[in-house]
Structure 1
Amino acid sequence: MSKSALTLTNITLKFGGLTAVSDLSFAVEEGSITSVIGPNGAGKTSVFNMVTGFYRPTAGQILLDDENLVGKKPSQITRLGMARTFQNLRLFPNLTVLDNVKSGMHSRTSQAVWGALWRTRAQRQEEQLIEETAMACLQFVGISEYAQRIAKHLPYGAQRYLEIARALATKPRVLLLDEPAAGLNYEEKENLIALIRRIRDVYLLTVVIIEHDMGLIKKISDRVIVLDYGQKIAEGSPQDVLNDPRVVEAYLGKEEVG
């Protein structure tokens, strides 16, 4: 039996009288690429926000391996091995590309303030390791030539890759990508598909994706989970899910999906 890296059990999220997510359960297999899809307002990003500690579920349990994440702060969840990108880019626009990646590593640093003030040997070694790790992440996603460029001056596609590099720098076990293909052209999307597969295979990560691009979903997903009005309406292989009548009606209208 395959091990689950991430397990949601009977998760509910309410905002006053509005139920954003209702009694949602699913498990993400370790080492898989799993996609979460659904129409706008289906609750996809709310799920990511609960998993990463930005929202606290009204009810239910979220496990990273065997660790319960409910009630933990985002920084604590990052240290446990969860990383994410955002639908709307959240870079530090006036910092360099390299410094943006280094900023993602603060949860992994161990030196106290006095070490930074007195420039101890341990502090200098940690700074060197942070720099080397950040550069390695930039090289992995293919934008190391931009390391000293100010982030806001990067091409849009490279900014997407920068967010992924910053997430990788936290040394996650599970990587959540919120609409990573948004705004990318066809060639950039094909490159993104290859990159996500390399991330999974080289870093040995579990990847969970929110995405609207059905072509990308079909090419990259091992498993697809479909939400509608905060509830799971389908789960399975891309081919099975995208041809499920409930999905065609709720998410894709009446258009047939091949």
Structure 2
Amino acid sequence: MSILTVKNLKLQFGGLLAVNDLSFTVEKNTISSIIGPNGAGKTSVFNMITGFYRPTSGEIELDGTSLINNKPSQITKLGMARTFQNLRLFPNLSALDNVKSGMHCRTKEAVWGALFHTKSQKEEERLIEEVAQECIDFVGVRKYMKRSAKNLPYGAQRYLEIARALATKPKILLLDEPAAGLNFEEKQYLIQLIRRIRDEFNITVLMIEHDMGLIKEISENITVIDYGCKIAEGTPDEVLKNEKVIEAYLGKEDVI
């Protein structure tokens, strides 16, 4: 059963067609990926799915609910979280406070409760603290909990952003190049972390990634786009042997 459905998606900036008639589905409780050469339109797809860009045309549904014209905050409430290719942590906040900031979409108490420190407000603050610590523990950065995000090792910052996304309690997690800048050991840890997210939390994962070794090891289904169009879809073995995919990445040899 699919959790995310993209139908005939199109994104046009003036005369530039960034995404053209793109359709794909993501099945529940799977780890899937979108790949393609630089400039293929991958991040534009993520930005439309998460409400940062408004599609020129097409449909996006999460569990049967249309996401078109919804703001990113509304889409988060519906059960979608994401990370970014370029880290978007609050550099001067502690690791713990960064994760707590991701939970605002799940809080219920209004300004009144915060001003007068009502019993329900205090209980909510306790739960926020508890969930944030659990997410930090889960991604393995507890020792950095009180340190400013800007002072964390780069790999830890990557994991911290995932922890903040998990704090929103998503149904589906979108990871935009989560392995960018990581060394071999950090990538191996990331692979295990993504599998644990799916297996222990039953969260569907959709990734954009350039590391083909990582993609082949962890992905169950891959959608390949080039110049904004889908050129292939299937298992890693099927996709990575596809002539159109090889041509998109390596170029076509001239025949003399």
TM-score (norm 2): 0.98
Partner of 1:127: 125
Deviation at 1:254, TM superposition (A): 6.6
Aligned residues between the structures: 253
Aligned to 2:145: 147
- Other structure's SS at 2:39 match: coil
Paired residue secondary structure (2:189): helix
3-state DSSP class of the match of 1:235? strand
Picking from 69, 87, 92, the partner of 2:85 is 87
Structure 1's unaligned 5+ residue stretches are none
| Matched residue, 2:46 | 48
CA distance in structure 1 between the aligned counterparts of 2:60 and 2:234, rounded to whole angstroms: 20
Query: Which residue of the partner structure matches residue 111 of structure 1?
Result: 109
Structure 2, unpaired ranges of 5+? none
Deviation at 1:79, TM superposition (A): 0.2
- Structure 2 counterpart of 1:248, one-letter code: I
Q: Could you list the per-position Cα deviations for residues 150-179 of structure 1 after superposition, in whole angstroms to 9, with x for gaps in the alignment? A: 100000000000000000000000000000
Deviation at 1:251? Answer: 1.7
Counterpart mapping for 1:65-80 below 5 A = 65-80=63-78
Any idea what SS the aligned residue of 1:251 has? helix
- State the alpha-carbon separation in 2 of the partners of residues 253 and 89 from structure 1: 31
SS at match of 2:33: strand
* 3-state SS of paired residue (1:36): strand
Query: 1:253: how far off?
Result: 4.0
Q: 1:157 aligns with which of 137, 155, 158?
A: 155
Residue aligned with 2:147, SS: coil
Q: Distance in 2 between matches of 1:253 and 1:168?
A: 38
> Could you report, residue by residue, the CA deviation over 1:124-148 in whole angstroms, capped at 9, with x for unpaired residues?
0000000000000000000011110
2:209 paired residue among 195, 208, 211: 211
Structure 1 letter corresponding to 2:86: N
Please give the secondary structure, in 2, of the residue aligned with 1:54: coil
Residues of 2 paired with 1:181 and 1:142: CA distance? 16
2:238 to 232, 237, 240: 240
**Counterpart-to-counterpart distance in 2, 1:252 and 1:223:** 21
Q: Match for 1:171: what amino acid?
A: K
1:6 corresponds to: 4
Offset from partner CA, 1:220-244 (integer Å, 9 cap, x none) = 0000100000000000000110110
Structure 1 letter corresponding to 2:8: N
Shift of 1:252: 3.7
**Aligned-partner Cα distance in 2 for 1:240–1:23:** 22
Q: For the aligned residues, what is the CA RMSD?
A: 0.9
Q: Distance in 2 between matches of 1:15 and 1:122?
A: 47
SS in 1 for 2:225: strand
The one-letter code matched in structure 2 to 1:156 is Y
Q: Distance in 1 between matches of 2:252 and 2:230?
A: 19
1:15 matches 2:13? yes
Give, as a single letter, the amino acid of the residue that structure 1 aligns with 2:226.
D
Matched, 1:59 2:57: yes
- Structure 2 residue 221 is matched with structure 1 residue 192: no
Distance, in Å, in 2 between the alignment partners of 1:235 and 1:253 is 19
How many Å apart are 1:35 and its aligned residue? 0.6
